[in-house]
Amino acid sequence: MIRRATPADAGQILRIYAPFIQYSAITFEYEIPELADFEQRIRKISSFYPYLVWEERREILGYCYATRFRERTAYDWVCESAIYVSEDARGKGVGQQLYEKLFVCLRAMNIVSVIAVVRPDGQSVPFHEALGFRKAGVIPYAGYKQGAWHEAGFWQFVLIDPVPSQPRHVKPFPEMADGLLQDH
């Protein structure tokens, strides 16, 4: 089941995220965050944007969220997404269903497009492209991790087609979450 993340989920979410920090350049984060810091991240993100988890039998198998893309007001209608799925749950549709629910939430907020930052040579590209993301650009030498330089690829998914000439005001997700999700 897909539901909103809470700070109490931080431990399980960190168990999914930690291997990406430790063993890959999928995230440019170097150190595993302290639990209290990660709880605060969840609070901060979910105060405006969707932060969703996939849970089965009280175990979180994956999560995704949206965050602000840039600070200037003109960027209000675009957000950045992140998604991570536990190794055991990959290839079972968890990521796709999480993203599809995230897109429903973002459309309800009047967000026009989503940016995913991915490694251009990684497995994430075909996953994102299958969901409708298209390559928007690549920054070479964007991050240094694990003894090497890595590119950062920007893939964009337009949520509202055609793009409105006058976008509607972006609404905070918590104002509408109950109508879009079945929390428990």
Token pair of 131 as six digits = 């969901």
CATH tag for 2-175 (out of 3.40.50.1170, 3.40.50.10420, 3.40.630.30, 3.40.50.620): 3.40.630.30
Domain-by-domain residue ranges, the chain? Answer: 2-175
- Whether 183 has a pLDDT exceeding 50, the answer reads no
Mean pLDDT lowest among 17-21, 67-71, 88-92, 156-160: 88-92
Give residue-wise pLDDT tens across range 108-136: 999 999 999 999 988 899 999 999 999 99
Determine the pLDDT at residue 93. 83
